[in-house]
A and B are shown apart, each in its own frame.
Chain A
Amino acid sequence: MTASTRDSADWKRVDGIIDTYSAKKSNLIAILQRVQEEFRYLPEDIMTYIGTKIDGLSPATVYGVATFYAQFSLEPKGKYIIKCCDGTACHVRGSMPVYMSLKQRFGLEDGTFTSKDGLFTVETVSCLGACGLAPVVVINDKVYPQMTTDAMKIIIDTILDEEKGE
């Protein structure tokens, strides 16, 4: 596992993150969160490294924690992470048609969440706490209130246009 192709700059970034949390076992979740922010997912070699670097942890424990929490992803996520809220209020007001239309648009079979071009990841979350605006969709950190399949189509078109422009 240590025979990694990763360059030293990456490892420095990981060390930096571990140091900010003073290599404490109880900070594992926070460390994994920062790593995911940096790398957009949790690469296996980095998890192994963290597991050997912190006292009281093993690579298996790190893997166990990483797979337990919904926030962590072991695969690279898209540039745009689309979170469709499927909390009760959003569900009752029609979040599923919006979600289904996105899956259809990006050709995502059951069990896959990221589009082939690596641009979009579509997932559901259980509640974003913006129930008064149901159904809600969050793309990266922007909240889109009272979504419909129509409105979603326009938003994705706009993002794709911007991407082409770049």
Chain B
Amino acid sequence: MGAKTLNINIKDEQQRAMDAIKAQGLRVLVCNGTGCIANGSNDVIARFKELGADVSVLTQKDKMTIVPTGCHGFCEQGVLVIIPDLDITYVKVKPADVDEIVDSHIKNGKPVERLLYTSPKTGEHIHKNEDIEFYARQTRTSLANCGKINAECIDEAIAMHAYEALAKVLEQNDPDAVIEEIEKSGLRGRGGGGFPTGRKWRFTANNRGGKSYVVCNGDEGDPGAFMDRSVMEGDPHKLLEGMAIAGFAIGSDEAYIYVRAEYPLAIKRLKIAIEQAESRGYLGKNIMGSDFSFEIHIKEGAGAFVCGEETALIASIEGERGMPRPKPPFPANKGLFGRPTLINNVETLANVPVIIRKGAEWFNAFGTETSKGTKTFALTGEVNNTGLIEVPMGTTLREIVFDIGGGIRNGKKFKAVQIGGPSGGCLTEEHLDLPMDYDNLIKAGAMVGSGGLVVMNEDTCIVEVARFFMHFTQSESCGKCVPCREGTKNMLKILEKIVRGQGEMKDLDTLEELALAVKEGSLCGLGKTAPNPVLSTLKYFRDEYIAHIKEKRCPAGVCTALKTIRIEETECKGCTKCARTCPVGAISGTVKNPHKIDQSKCIKCGACLEACPFKAIKQS
């Protein structure tokens, strides 16, 4: 084979892109991810643009450029506005705040204090992005550019090293060396199972010669996880580059990205990125003048969780019902359209370019003995700082929840963390200092999964959460194999009975028996992992199950069948506020007379509890 000379000098391209960015003057980064758009970021951008036209009076720089970026990860604080040259991050920016930012800070150098992030611990205002605890303890590699670049502009990505790794492998022209490097890095699949990525590449590469495919699994179906969405929306070129490198390594010239239909913005930005990369010669025929050609298509999913399973995903790309197929044959031998196929998840592929560019040693310096590199987690639920984070493997739960997450909201008590979505399990207080990696989590009865971390406090009912996940997997079970189809249905029935207060003690044994049968007997990952939330909650919170069964009591006060909301007649002043608040019109009464709740209409949402100014409404 031997080294190749390319017709694009990537270093020159980088320099050109960086010069173009410098010429933009003062860069104002406005987060334009799904979360911030919901909070009004398009209006913020529009207002900045209106004011940005007035460049003559800017004192900091003679020009201002508004850069709509992908997700910063700190969604709860959106809309986020970051001005790197001024070393400042503004949070919760509304369109009406834009004038003040421009007048006070950009023109006169005086930061707008009220729009700064306030530390929940010290109450201090924080100016710099890297001083905010949420960011300070993160190590971002796959998310490195998310929130820093305009995802719809290829030059911004090139300035941040996009396609440098691809140029490197095309120049060296040695596919086996690429696979060796990925093997040495210790990268494991970030989509759930944690299978060594290099080994998967090697299996597929063994079938070099005929037609083969690279498939990127962007069917991020786990409720509570959104890292893949962020990468696709915020830094699509990193993913495309990772796929092209994979294609070169295994000898494939065609690829598919399977994206959930629920992610329209990701689909739009990927399409733009593919078009731009093709027009510049980073994708398509004879990439950068080499012999390597690579074409990427996008396939939209249609709402089926099971399509995250690789063989089901292949069936779905082929236009069929997304049902899993028995393995073997493994996709590496017989996958898409019957050809050898390499399937990796978005985050896994997004780690590839940096491994090639900086080397396997750089990458495997992060992490633990068996789990290398960094991992993204979607930190949500009852925690102060919710959002997307990336930390070295082996970081403890305590650091994530209490340092990065800023602790539990409203001063409540930590109860548990649900990790890995419907396939994962619960971690409790005793696991707070456990280094989080693939193997430790499996030992604790959970799994990294896709990395959804939902924090729960004392007001969360664990039994209800188990029922919630079982309801999810039951309705997403494709019905092909009996253990999963019938087993999840019966497990759900039992859990529903328990939260209704009709459970019996022997139900717990049946539940455990069923769980093990479903785990053992199911065809694919969905069924094999579906019982995990039940098993792990039974292990750590058995007393809560027993309280529901024996005392007919929900310790967290969540399960609606086990609670009633009523108005204390002697305390009600008849202000009518509760009646006006009730979304279902269950409260009746006249002014200055005690009100009453019609229990048959009440949905126990608790809205009246919060609305009552006299605390006359009680829940029991």
Q: Which residues of A contact B (CB under 8 A)?
A: 24-30, 32-33, 61, 64-65, 68-72, 86-89, 91-94, 97, 100-101, 104-105, 125-134, 136, 141, 143-145, 148-150, 152-153
Verify if B303 is at the interface (C-beta below 8 Å from A).
Answer: yes
Contact indicator A133/B321 (Cβ below 8 Å): no
8 chain-A/chain-B pairs, Cβ below 8 angstroms: A25-B318, A87-B223, A89-B224, A91-B223, A101-B605, A128-B262, A132-B74, A141-B264
Q: Is the CB of B262 within 8 A of A127?
A: yes
Q: Which residues of A contact B321 (CB under 8 A)?
A: 64-65, 68
Residues of A within 8 A of B224 (CB): 87-89, 127, 131
Tell me whether chain A's interface is mostly helix, strand or loop, or mixed: helix
Determine whether the beta carbon of B581 is less than 8 Å from that of A126.
no
Q: Within 8 Å of chain A (Cβ to Cβ): is B472?
A: yes
- In the bound complex, CA of A89 to CA of B455 (Å): 9
In the complex, identify which listed stretch (B100-108, B159-167, B381-389) lies at the interface while the others stay far away: B381-389
Assess the A26–B318 pair: CB atoms within 8 A: yes
Are A126 and B319 touching (Cβ within 8 A)? no
Choice from A25, A92, A105, A130 contacting B35 with Cβ under 8 Å: A130
Does residue B177 face the partner (Cβ distance < 8 Å to A)? no
Alpha-carbon separation in the docked complex, A47 to B317 (Å)? 19
Contact of B229 among A129, A133, A141 (CB under 8 A): A129
Q: CA of A29 to CA of B386 in the docked complex: distance in angstroms?
A: 35
State whether A127 touches B225 (Cβ < 8 A): yes
Name the B residues within 8 Å of A24 (CB-CB). 319
Is B263 close to A, CB under 8 A? Answer: yes
- Are A132 and B304 in contact, with the CB atoms below 8 A? no
Contact present for A125 and B262 (CB under 8 Å): yes
Contact call A104/B34, Cβ cutoff below 8 A: no
Docked complex Cα distance between A149 and B605 (Å): 9
Contact: B304 with A68, CB < 8 Å?
Answer: yes
Cα(A32)–Cα(B301), bound, Å: 12
Q: Is B421 interfacial (CB 8 A cutoff)?
A: yes
CA gap between A64 and B319 in the complex, in Å:
11
Q: Are A129's CB and B262's CB within 8 A?
A: yes
Task: Select from chain A the residue with minimum beta-carbon distance to B605.
Answer: A97
Query: From A21, which residue of chain B is reached at the shortest CB distance?
Result: B319
A132 CA / B381 CA spacing, docked (Å): 8
Known: A29-B302, A88-B223. 16 other contacts (CB 8 A): A29-B300, A29-B319, A30-B300, A32-B302, A68-B322, A69-B322, A97-B605, A126-B472, A127-B222, A130-B38, A130-B75, A132-B387, A136-B38, A145-B39, A150-B607, A152-B583
Interface string of B299-328 (1 = CB under 8 A from A): 111111100000000001111111100000
Given A92-B382, A144-B38, residue A25 in contact with residue B319 (CB < 8 A): yes
**How far, in Å, is B163 (CB) from chain A's closest CB?**
27
Residues of B contacting A70 with CB < 8 Å? 302-304
A126 to B76, CA, bound (A): 20
The answer, yes or no, to whether B29 is at the interface (CB within 8 Å) is: no
CB within 8 Å for A97 and B381 given contacts A91-B468, A126-B305, A133-B76: no
Q: Which residue of B lies closest to A70 (CB)?
A: B303
Do the beta carbons of A127 and B223 come within 8 Å of each other?
yes
Nearest A residue to B37 by beta-carbon distance?
A: A143
The smallest C-beta distance from A144 to any residue of chain B, in angstroms, reads 7
With A and B bound together, what is the CA distance between A80 and B452 in angstroms? Answer: 30
Enumerate chain B residues within 8 angstroms of A33, measured Cβ to Cβ: 261, 300, 302
Task: Tell whether, in the assembled complex, residue A145 and residue B38 are in contact, meaning their CB atoms are under 8 Å apart.
Answer: yes
Set of chain A residues within 8 Å of B186, measured between Cβ atoms: none
A129 vs B231: C-alpha distance when bound (angstroms): 12
Judge whether A101 and B603 touch: CB under 8 Å. yes
Asked if A89 and B300 make an inter-chain contact with CB atoms under 8 angstroms apart, the answer reads no
- Of A64, A92, A133, the residue contacting B39 (CB under 8 A) is A133
Q: Which residues of A are found within 8 Å of B320, using beta-carbon distances?
A: 28, 61, 65
Q: Which residues of B in the span 227-262 have a Cβ within 8 Å of any Cβ on A? A: 229, 261-262
Cβ of A104 and Cβ of B603 under 8 Å apart? yes
How far, in Å, is A159 (CB) from chain B's closest CB? Answer: 16
Cα separation A144 to B322 with both chains bound (whole Å): 30
A3 CA / B456 CA spacing, docked (Å): 57
In the complex, chain B residues whose CB is within 8 Å of the CB of A144:
38
A72 touches B35 (CB 8 A): no
Whether A97 pairs with B305 at a CB distance below 8 angstroms is no
Closest 7 CB pairs of A and B: A132-B75, A87-B223, A97-B605, A101-B583, A69-B302, A70-B303, A129-B226
Cβ of A92 and Cβ of B262 under 8 Å apart?
no
Q: When the two chains form the complex, which single residue of B380, B584, B607 contacts A88, counting CB atoms closer than 8 Å?
A: B380
Give the CA-CA distance A61 to B319 in the complex, in Å: 10
The answer, yes or no, to whether B353 is at the interface (CB within 8 Å) is: no
Could you tell me the distance between the alpha carbons of A12 and B386 in the complex, rounded to whole angstroms?
A: 49
Q: How distant is the Cα of A70 from the Cα of B381 in the complex, in angstroms?
A: 26
- B220 contacts chain A at the CB level, 8 A cutoff: yes
Q: With A and B bound together, what is the CA distance between A20 and B606 in angstroms? A: 51
Smallest CB separation, B422 vs chain A (Å): 8
Q: Is the CB of B396 closer than 8 A to any CB of chain A?
A: no
Which B residue sits closest to A128, measured CB to CB?
B262
Q: Which residues of A contact B605 (CB under 8 A)?
A: 94, 97, 100-101, 149
B434 to chain A: closest CB distance in Å?
Answer: 21
CB-contact partner of A89 in B454, B583, B584, under 8 A: B454
CA distance A47 to B63 in the complex (A): 56
Nearest residue in B to A32 (C-beta to C-beta)? B302
CB of B595 to closest CB in A, whole Å: 18
A91 vs B421: C-alpha distance when bound (angstroms): 12
